[in-house]
Structure 1
Amino acid sequence: MNPPVTSTVKPLPSGRKSEATQERLLFAAAEVLSRKGVSETRLTDIAEVAGVRAPAVYYYFASRYDLISEVMSVGQTRLREHVAAVLDSVPPETTPMERICAAVAAHLEVELELSHFATAVTRNTGQLPDGVRDRLREDSHAYSSLWRDLMDEAFAAGEIRADIDLRTARKLVIGALNWAPEWWRASEGSLADLVATTQSLVRHGLSPVAAST
């Protein structure tokens, strides 16, 4: 049984060097988790990538799962904030369906290119102990609410078929986006092609009539 998580990060040691080391450990943990997953990630792996001795990790984090919990929290926040920022930047006249497509692109971009943190979240949520999942639930609900609002707006505008269950559609779309890091490789196709294909599937799958683009 995995140990409970009671606190994520120890009080930050003073000094810029300590802050930089803690940040380096977080980035290293995100990179290792995005490649190996929770079950295969060891503190020695993280320490090696961060360029520190393994025992030094405990100077900044109380346990392996405290470090993992912090990576997941940062990853979920960056994912949600990136998608929200993209949506805030689109022109006011953008249709609800095009806003959904913008969110699709933003999600894929941040998890596949911009952040090991986001990839670590999408690849490892199912492997987390209950204590870590409890800590992440609030931010997860916030992201789900963002997508709920997007789909509700599109439905109200007549851009989503009336026979579709919106809750199921939302979970299927987010689930498909989250699964992309498990199989997508840049060597097999461009991110632009992946985004365009995903947007087309979402648009045509949700729209009441065949979309023209």
Structure 2
Amino acid sequence: MAETQTATAKSVRTRQRILDAAAEILSRKGYAGTRLADVAEVAGVQAPAIYYYFGSRDDLVEEVMWAGAHRVRLHVEEALAALPAEVGPFERILVGVDAHLRYELSISDYTTASIRNAGQVPEHLRVRPAAEEGEYSRVWRDLFRQAQEQGRIRADLDVNVFRLLLLGAMNWAVEWWNPRTRSLDDLVRSTQDLVRHGAGA
């Protein structure tokens, strides 16, 4: 029994190493440049071993893409859940901006890989990640709607358009942000100011 549990735990760790390696490679080299040989080298396994855990290269890529969308949503939801109940939706939007950018740019290769490759992977690999992205988008939709209902966001603002523009701008930061020229703190503050002055009542 103990041997079976040990083998299972080792298998779980190996699968996770492969996923972590794939996220790293995919975030740097993109879908077209991601080779299983590179993933195997980073993960410390033989390339054929990957097929024990994933049926194909595309199965591995899809799992990384889904995990990227899923993990950023959980991270932001956890940051919001940790706030006191009296914190209103507008302030929660600002906290969400902070949590999203820090997770995307300094914590998770998965989210970077998911964002960078959304337009590169074949359509059939986008179905499951896109559903997760839809769940995440609804988190922001509810916050913006509640903030507008409370009078904290301009009544004349199309919050759906602003929300999509904000998420798009934050996601695009993976392509241009350089920590050597602008700190992450500065980027977070500037994005929060965009919300305050662009949407605030």
Q: Same fold (TM over 0.5)?
A: yes
Mapped pair 1:193 → 2:186: yes
What is the CA-CA distance between 1:168 and the residue it aligns to? Answer: 0.8
Post-superposition CA distance 1:110-146 (Å, at most 9, x none) = 1111111111111111112111111223211110110
Post-superposition CA distance 1:180-202 (Å, at most 9, x none) = 11111222222111111111112
Q: Tell me the amino acid that sits aligned with residue 193 of structure 1.
A: D
Q: Tell me the amino acid that sits aligned with residue 179 of structure 1.
A: W
Counterpart for residue 150 of structure 1: 143
5+ long unaligned stretches in structure 2: 1-6
Matches within 5 A, 1:99-178: 99-178=92-171
Matches within 5 A, 1:54-73: 54-73=47-66
Aligned alpha-carbon RMSD (Å): 1.2
What is the CA-CA distance between 1:104 and the residue it aligns to? Answer: 0.4
Counterpart for residue 76 of structure 2: 83
CA distance in 2, matches of 1:89, 1:19: 30
Mapped pair 1:182 → 2:167: no
Counterpart for residue 35 of structure 2: 42
CA distance in 2, matches of 1:19, 1:91: 36
Counterpart for residue 5 of structure 1: none
CA distance in 1, matches of 2:70, 2:126: 14
CA distance in 2, matches of 1:171, 1:37: 24
What is the CA-CA distance between 1:53 and the residue it aligns to? Answer: 1.9
CA distance in 2, matches of 1:73, 1:198: 25
CA distance in 1, matches of 2:124, 2:186: 38
CA distance in 1, matches of 2:89, 2:9: 45
Indicate the structure with greater helix content.
2
CA distance in 1, matches of 2:46, 2:161: 46
Q: Using the aligned pairs only, state the percent identity.
A: 52
CA distance in 1, matches of 2:88, 2:9: 46
Post-superposition CA distance 1:65-124 (Å, at most 9, x none) = 100011111111110000001011112222322111000000001111111111111111
CA distance in 2, matches of 1:159, 1:42: 48
Given the two structures, how large is their TM-score scaled by the length of structure 1? Answer: 0.87
CA distance in 2, matches of 1:67, 1:104: 29
Match of 1:15 among 1, 5, 8: 8
Q: Tell me the amino acid that sits aligned with residue 148 of structure 1.
A: R
What is the CA-CA distance between 1:57 and the residue it aligns to? Answer: 1.4
5+ long unaligned stretches in structure 1: 1-13, 209-213
Counterpart for residue 4 of structure 2: none
Partner secondary structure for residue 15 of structure 1: helix
What is the CA-CA distance between 1:158 and the residue it aligns to? Answer: 1.0
